[in-house]
Amino acid sequence: MILQCPDCNSRNVTTVWTEYTFPYGVVNPVNLTAKVPVRRCGCCKESWLDYIGEAIMDRVVKDFEKQYPKYPNQHRTSYQDGLWYTKSQVQARREIS
What confidence category does residue 4 fall into, taking pLDDT thresholds of 50, 70 and 90? very high
Q: 6 lies in a domain?
A: no
What confidence category does residue 63 fall into, taking pLDDT thresholds of 50, 70 and 90? very high
Q: 24 lies in a domain?
A: yes
State the Cα–Cα distance between residues 47 and 44, nearest whole angstrom: 9
Mean pLDDT, rounded, for 23-38: 88
State the Cα–Cα distance between residues 84 and 37, nearest whole angstrom: 21
Q: 4 lies in a domain?
A: no
State how far the alpha carbon of 40 is from the alpha carbons of 3, 8, 58, 71, in Å: 10, 12, 21, 35
pLDDT tens, position by position, 41-52: 999 999 999 999
Q: What is the pLDDT of residue 25?
A: 79
Q: What is the pLDDT of residue 35?
A: 96
In the chain, how many domains are there?
A: 1
**Mean pLDDT rounded to a whole number for the chain:** 82
Q: What angle do CA 33, 38, 44 make, to 5 degrees?
A: 145
**Residue-range definition of the domain harbouring residue 50:** 13-96
Q: 89 lies in a domain?
A: yes
Q: 39 lies in a domain?
A: yes
